[in-house]
Amino acid sequence: MAVRSPEEFRESLRDGRRVFMHGDLVEDVTTHPILKINTETAAGDFVLTHSEDPAVRDLFVASHPETGEPISRYFLPPRTSEDLEQRLNMIGQSIRLTGGLPFGKDVGTDAMYAIMTTAQQMGKPEYLERARNYLEHLRKNDLNLCGAITDVKGDRGKPPAQQAHPDYYVHVVDQNKDGIVVRGAKIHITGAPVANDILVLPTRQMRENEGEYSLAFAIPANTKGITMVCRPSRGERGPSEYPAALPVRGLVEAMIIFDDVLVPWERVFMCGEWPYSMLLAYTFATYHRFTGVSYKIPAVEILAGCAVAMAEMNGIERAGHIRAKLVDIAAYVETLKALATAAIKSPVMYDDLAVPNPLITNMAKLHFASRYHEIIGLVQDISGGIITTMPTYLDWQNEELHKRLEHYLGGSPRYTTEERLRMIALTHRMVASAESAYMEVVTVHGEGSMEAQRMMIYAESPFKEYRDFALAAAGIESHA
């Protein structure tokens, strides 16, 4: 079964999992009015591995390094800069070809390879063997994954061991010959309702008295004791919305509750080794921020395209102040692309695993997040207020109104009125809708807050080298 079909993936989700939406237990996530959008977005990965275009299929499908059978390329650990470049291309093409990021195997293998990196450093052969066996399980069954990292945290001013409720962080409550029993909750888990397996990692550095919180494991999503509470996303495009070339795509966030869940020992990759919790969280953050940058590149390319198209359709593309805004937007997009490329050209090696350069990866994510709202404002400014006040598609289709709208809502003669209205509709979705507001929050907090990126940039920056250059220039001997 090494590379599953979209239908095989959909069928795998009909497994009795406990998923709630709007307070109701969902019978089938593949047919639910909202969650089916989530299902089809995740299914995009399986569509791509079965593409009739050899170039697309070759990008997403690789040969098993030992058996030669076809497997998802995501399940090949990155060993070189070229491997990281393949991941960058895969994630970008996922959006360009399907209209939405499947966001399963990418984030799942971010967690998987962080686990493998940490297992190599811990010096416990059993953890590394379990991780390698689990990777083979993923390859064989072509599983869709989600990464459960962020705990609900309770009082943010207190560490896990000092919380009023110990369950504010996922922790071990019992151990026996079969495995560990865990309790707690993870939140903001993208794509969880349509994941086959959940990979759980610590969200932070743990202390000596927090061994029970220092754990990493994998568990099927339908395991007894797991409940998901989903935040609604949008459904299918309604009749008042202008048609688009690609269907609606998007992923639902979920809170995952672990109510005394038994995790078999063969799926446990950390249990009590608190000194290594930071390495695991840190390495995952680097991989995951690289994934985040990878999918943000096509997103901001479309954003920039909206700005250019709206400027042309409004007939203002030659105005000096508009050109200045377009230059700012282009510089933002191209800097993000350049940083992503730089991150893969100088990876950090952990034995035979390549990790994107942590300093540059965090610079890329901070660049994207810190300027995103500014860029949204520029696109809004270029586009004009019509992106929030335009008539609906139902108005456009009304026989009495159509000719009047055609007459009054035209712009540059290079484009028809309908083309302008379709671009206005797309720009509305990108910068002036509930979806865009959601994306603005994700930009700040997705893959870690901007402060988290600053902390990693501080940790990775060669400040001593900077100082020594300045000392030498001033004729001062280097200090220890």
Do 244 and 343 lie in a common domain?
Answer: no
The reported pLDDT for the residue numbered 479 is 82
Do 126 and 239 lie in a common domain?
Answer: yes
The total number of structural domains that make up the chain: 2
Residue 473 lies in a domain: no
Do 199 and 251 lie in a common domain?
Answer: yes
Residue 318 — very low, low, confident or very high, per pLDDT cuts 50/70/90? very high
Do 217 and 315 lie in a common domain?
Answer: no
Q: Is the pLDDT of residue 480 over 80?
A: no
The reported pLDDT for the residue numbered 371 is 96
Do 176 and 139 lie in a common domain?
Answer: yes
pLDDT in tens, 10-43: 999 999 999 999 999 999 999 999 999 999 999 9
- Per-residue exposure over 402-432, b if at least 16 CB sit within 10 Å of its own CB, e if not: eeebeeebbbeeebebbebbbbbbbbbbbbb
User: What is this structure's pTM?
Assistant: 0.93
Do 125 and 222 lie in a common domain?
Answer: yes
Do 258 and 305 lie in a common domain?
Answer: no
Residue 248 lies in a domain: yes
Do 132 and 99 lie in a common domain?
Answer: yes
Nearest to 205 by CA among 463, 459, 462, 461: 459
Q: Is the pLDDT of residue 348 over 70?
A: yes
Q: Which residue has the higher pLDDT, 446 or 199?
A: 199
CA angle 119, 125, 129 (to 5 degrees): 80
Q: CA-CA distance, 139 to 18, in Å (whole number)?
A: 25
Nearest to 44 by CA among 243, 245, 301, 251: 251
Do 366 and 433 lie in a common domain?
Answer: yes
Residue 458 lies in a domain: yes
* Residue 456: CATH number of its domain: 1.20.140.10
> Residue 293: how many CB atoms within 10 A of its CB?
26
pLDDT in tens, 285-298: 999 999 999 999 99
Residue 153 — very low, low, confident or very high, per pLDDT cuts 50/70/90? very high
Residue 474 lies in a domain: no
| pLDDT, averaged across the chain | 95
Do 256 and 385 lie in a common domain?
Answer: no
Q: Is the pLDDT of residue 223 over 80?
A: yes
Do 315 and 264 lie in a common domain?
Answer: no
Do 195 and 141 lie in a common domain?
Answer: yes
Q: Is the dihedral of CA 5, 87, 365, 450 positive or negative?
A: positive
Residue 475 lies in a domain: no
Q: What percent of the chain has pLDDT over 90?
A: 92
Q: Which of 272, 294, 315 is the last residue of a domain?
A: 272
Q: Is the pLDDT of residue 109 over 90?
A: yes
Q: Which of 272, 298, 330 is the last residue of a domain?
A: 272
Its domain, for residue 451, covers: 279-468
CA angle 9, 14, 20 (to 5 degrees): 115
Q: Which of 272, 298, 332 is the last residue of a domain?
A: 272
Beta strand 253-264 with 226-231 is antiparallel
Beta strand 353-355 with 348-350 is antiparallel
Residue 1 — very low, low, confident or very high, per pLDDT cuts 50/70/90? low
pLDDT in tens, 118-142: 999 998 899 999 999 999 999 999 9
The reported pLDDT for the residue numbered 99 is 87
Residue 476 lies in a domain: no
